[in-house]
Structure 1
C-alpha cells in the first residue's frame, strides 16, 4: 500500500500550537481540515519524542514508486506465473529514475504469485511438459486402511521376479496395515501373475 501524503512540518507545528492552547483533537481537526487520526498521531509523536520532525525510518527504503507497485500487482494478478524478468521489462515503462531493481533475486525456480487459499485455482497451476521418454516400473499394494509397500522393479518383470516381490513385500505390508487374518491378495490376470504364484491369503 502506498504511503499517505506527508503533512508539512509547518502544519504539524500548527497542530501542536493549537493543542498547547487547550483545544482537543476534534477542534484541531476541524480548524485545520485534517483527519482526527492524523492529529492524534502528530500529537502522540510530539508527546513521546518531543519533536514534530521526521524520525529515522528502519529498514531499507523502497526503490519503486507507488505507481510501479500498482503495476506489479496488476501484472501478477493477471498472470500469476509471470517471471521476475518479465516484471523487470514491464517496469521499463514506469519511471523508476534509472535504478536497477533486483525484484525477486536470482533463483532459477519457477514461482507463482498468489493469495492465500488459492493454490488450486486453474490459473495458478503451472502445467508440466513430459519429455525425454523412459519410465520406472514399480509394484505396489493397498488395502482399505491405506497403502502398503512400494517396490521398484529393476530389469525385466517375469514370474520369478514377481514371486520374489510378493515374498518380500506382501506380509510386511499386511503387518504394517494391521489387517485381520482373513485378508486376501487380489491381482489382475497378467500372465506373470498366474504361473506358480504362491498362496498368500491370510
Structure 2
C-alpha cells in the first residue's frame, strides 16, 4: 500500500531567515547586511516511492482556490509520471485550504482516495524530510 501513496505538501523557503544557511568567506571586520528582507519562495511538491513529482512555484497567496488549481493542473500528470495508476492514495495534511468544503468536493468529484491524517501532525508527513534537505 505504501508504494501507492502520493505524499504532498507546500512550504515557504526564505532566502535570509531561519531556514537559510550561508557559508561565505569575508574580510575580518565586515558586517553582512540584507536589504529589503531577502525574499522568499513558496513551493508545492509531491512524491511517491517511485520518485518526486513536479515542483510547483506558488506565485500568489496560497488559498483554497490556488491549491485546487495546482491539484487540477499537476496532480494527475504527476501520478502518470510516477506510474501510480488509477488506484493510488493521496496524502495531504489538515491545513484549512486542504480541508475546505470546496477542496473536499473537488477531491470527491475526482474519486480520489485520500489518506486520513491526524490533526496537528505535519512532522509525520514524509515530505517534511525532503523540505528540510532542500532548505
Q: TM-score, normalised by structure 1?
A: 0.35
> Are 1:146 and 2:51 matched, yes or no?
yes
RMSD: 2.3
Structure 2 unaligned regions, length at least 5: 1-21, 25-31, 114-135
Greater strand fraction, Structure 1 or Structure 2? 2
Equivalent position of 1:168 in the other structure: 73
Equivalent position of 1:178 in the other structure: 83
Equivalences for residues 1-202 of structure 1 within 5 A: 127=23, 131=34, 132-195=37-100, 196-197=102-103, 198-199=106-107, 200=110, 201=112
Higher relative contact order by CA 8 Å / sep ≥ 6: 1 or 2? 2
Equivalent position of 1:71 in the other structure: none
Structure 1 unaligned regions, length at least 5: 1-125
The number of aligned residues is: 77
Equivalent position of 1:88 in the other structure: none
Which is higher, the Rg of structure 1 or of structure 2? Answer: 1
Within 2, Cα distance between the matches of 1:173 and 1:130? 40
Greater helix fraction, Structure 1 or Structure 2? 1
Q: TM-score, normalised by structure 2?
A: 0.51
Equivalent position of 1:90 in the other structure: none
